[in-house]
Every structure is written in structure tokens, then in C-alpha cells.
Amino acid sequence: MVPYFRPQDIADILIMTFLVYQLYTWFKNTRALQVLFGLLFLGALYVVTKSMGLFMTSWILQELGTVLLVLLIVVFQAEIRQALYRLSLLRKLFDRQETSLRVDLLEFSSAIFTLASQRIGALTVFQREEVLDDFILHGVSLDSLVSGQLLQSIFVPTSPLHDGAVLIKDGRVARASCHLPLSVSPDVPQHFGTRHRAGLGLSERSDAVVVIVSEERGEVSLALGGELEKMGSQAELHEKLSSLLLPLSRESQRVGLKARLFSNFWPKLAVFALVFICWSLITYRQGAILTVTAPIKFHNLPDNLTISPRSYPEGVDLQLKAFSNLVASPKDLDVVIDLDLSGVKEGGNTVAIRKEDIKLPPGVVVTSMERSKIWFSTERKTRKESSRVR
């Protein structure tokens, strides 16, 4: 292991923990997360086979990993694009922000429960911050105001648009008869049909709010983040939609740091442990200690002085060690000792070599050096004056 924790190491672990936890929350209950677990298993198998000297198996796994990386980019390009969009810190500056929802949620909730009482199936999607264009297929463009009469006329079985989902975007009914991605989670109950699986599938891949009306049971459910919650009454649905869709005040948006850190504590702890183990494995197998001759350079030498030739060594032997096997060998890197001579005087001078004077690449430390000081002699520059022609 490394001899001590640097501030860079702590930042390295915390940043990776944050990124991995974000990926876990985004891809939870999706095919992407299941494939990722399979890749982690293959990676662990590769490490074990390589350490045991199983050359053929480790070579095949290594070549297979290169091919799988290309296939993953092709197959999961939509998920990768969505993840990069979520990581963008500038999207809130450039995305259009709506000042109000422009949807009468009370009228909407009343229309939904009217459909449920008549055993008419319905599937309604509210787009929030994340764009859903990559997940919603087909559909008929409408671009109309949201009203209870419009929703009931769309989902009535005799309507040509009843088979599919309605997309509400920017406070308007944008499209109808849309196709949504189905959930592949094994935890979805068997009695749920295509309508519920479609609503859950979209909520697993985005931050959309999906309202589902069951045709068989006359129940109203709300899907969010891959979780399905049954709505018992019109008031409950209205309250839930208001809390999710209407803009909140600054006071209600403030969440304490302690609450953020300890929410979903066990998944966060598991991700932190996984990242720490991976970091430890990477930094455990450090490179061997190598001796490198670092050349000596100078700066800030007074203008009236010059260094006597051959009064100082051309280089100093340093013993270097890399923190991680991911760092290139110090023999292949430029290591220089750059000394500040602003305080030297004419004659003999002794200058100490400080750690700040040794220019090292990141991830490399000095374990020992041949000498900690160097001696050299300086002379005053002579000025030649040209003779005057009389």
C-alpha cells in the first residue's frame, strides 16, 4: 500500500464514489446495470486467471473485453448519451426553463380517476428536466392544451389514439399514441401488463413522472424512478403531482448536508467500499524503486554573476517510486532538478535541494536522493571595453 494518504488520494476516492453512485441510481433496474455487473464479473475473472498464470484464459478475456467495449457503446448509446446529459453542469443554463406548468392538475387528476372508474386504461407521461426524445417512439403530434375532456377523448377505446401514451411537455399535450421502452426488471409483478411495464421502463431511464390507469383493476398508479406507487384517491394524486411538477420555493428546496449524505446510506456505503477496494488494488501493486539521474538546471541567477564551468555535478541520482502501476515508469518520464539561485553570491555557494525543486510527474515520489546539497562556484562577469580610436 502507499505509505500515506495524500489529499489527492482522498479526492480521487470521493470523486469516483460520487460518479459511480450516480451511475448506479440512473441505471438501477435497467439492462445497462445488469450488463455492467456481468462485465465486473468478467473483469474479476480476468484478474484471477492472470494472477494464477492461466495465460490462454486471461488472453481470451482480455481480447473479449476490447470487443465488448465497442459493442456496449453501440448497444447502449442512448443510455450513454442520457448519462452524459445528466452530468452536464451547463444544461440548466441553456435548457429552456418554464416559469409555470400551465396544467390544471386538479382537473387532470379528476379526469384520470374518471377513466379509472370507467375501467378505461390510460398512460400519461410528464416530461421534467430530462429530454425524452430518445426513449419515446412514434406518436402523433398534437401540441394542444391539457384538459380533462381531451384526455378522456384520447383514451376512450373507440379513439384511434388510445393505444399508447400521451406525452405532456412544457405544459401542453405534445404527442399521443407513443410507444415507451418496457421495463426489464425481474421485480415487476406478473399481473402487470404492458401498460405498467412501459410506464416503469420509462421511469427507470429518466426522471419522467408517469401516471398509469389499469384497465383490468381500475387502479391509478404513479411511476417514478423505477418505483410504482398506488394512488388511493384523486386528492392524493393531485398532491403527489403538485409536489413533483410545480416549482418549489427556495425554502422547501433546501436540503441539509447531513440529510443528503445519509439518505440511501447503505447503497452509498457499498459504492464507497467498492471504490476503495478498487483504488487499493490499483495502488497496491506499485512499480519497483528505480534510480534515475536527474539533470540540474538553474534559474534566477543574478545578471552580474556566472557559474564556473565544471564546478557542480551534471546530475543527481534519485530513487523514485510510483504510487500506482497505472503510472508510466519513471525512466520514461522527464525528471529535472530546477534550483533557484536568486540568493547566491560571488565565490563558493552551497544550495540545498528541496522537494519543490524536483519536477516530478503526478503519482511519482522521491524515496531517497544521492545528495541533499550541491556546491558550485560563481564568478563576476567581465566587461570588455573597446579601445577608443583617437
Name the nearest CA neighbour of 12 among 364, 288, 258, 363: 363
- Per-residue pLDDT of 165-196, as tens digits, reads 999 988 889 999 999 988 877 778 877 888 89
Q: Exposed, middle or buried, 326 (CB in 10 Å: 0-12/13-18/19+)?
A: exposed
Angle among Cα 238, 203, 34 to the nearest 5 degrees reads: 155
Query: If you ran DSSP here, which 8-state letter would residue 218 be given?
Result: -
Architecture of domain 290-380: Beta Complex (2.170)
Using 50, 70 and 90 to split pLDDT, how confident is the model at 333?
low
Q: Residues spanned by CATH 2.170.120.30 within the chain? A: 290-380
Q: How many residues does the chain have?
A: 390
Neighbouring residues of 366: CB distance < 8 A, sequence distance ≥ 6: 318, 319, 320, 355, 358, 360
CB 297 within 8 A of CB 338: yes
pLDDT of residue 190: 79
pLDDT of residue 181: 87
Q: Residues spanned by CATH 3.40.1700.10 within the chain? A: 105-246
**Residue 123: its H or E element:** strand 122-126
pLDDT of residue 249: 39
- On the question of pLDDT at 93 being above 60, the answer is no
CA torsion sign for 353, 354, 357, 361 is positive
Using 50, 70 and 90 to split pLDDT, how confident is the model at 388?
very low
pLDDT of residue 385: 38
- On the question of pLDDT at 310 being above 80, the answer is no
- Per-residue pLDDT of 96-151, as tens digits, reads 544 445 678 899 999 999 999 999 999 999 998 877 887 888 888 888 888 889 99
How distant, in Å, are the alpha carbons of 11, 244, 290, 362 from that of 5?
A: 10, 42, 22, 14
Hey, what's the cell of 198? 412501459
User: HSE on the CB side for 314, CA within 13 Å?
Assistant: 3
End-to-end Cα, the chain, rounded Å: 79
pTM listed for this prediction: 0.54
Could you tell me where the DSSP H helices lie in the chain? Answer: 7-27, 31-51, 55-75, 77-87, 91-94, 105-117, 148-155, 194-205, 234-245, 250-253, 257-262, 265-284
Question: Which of 206-210, 216-220, 256-260, 265-269 shows the lowest mean pLDDT across its residues?
Answer: 256-260
pLDDT of residue 389: 37
- On the question of pLDDT at 308 being above 50, the answer is yes
The domain 105-246 having CATH identifier 3.40.50.2000: the answer here is no
CB 305 within 8 A of CB 381: yes
Hey, what's the cell of 222? 404513479
- On the question of pLDDT at 83 being above 70, the answer is no
CB 353 within 8 A of CB 310: no
- On the question of pLDDT at 379 being above 50, the answer is yes
3-state secondary structure of 29: coil
Question: Which of 235-249, 293-307, 313-327, 352-366 shows the lowest mean pLDDT across its residues?
Answer: 313-327
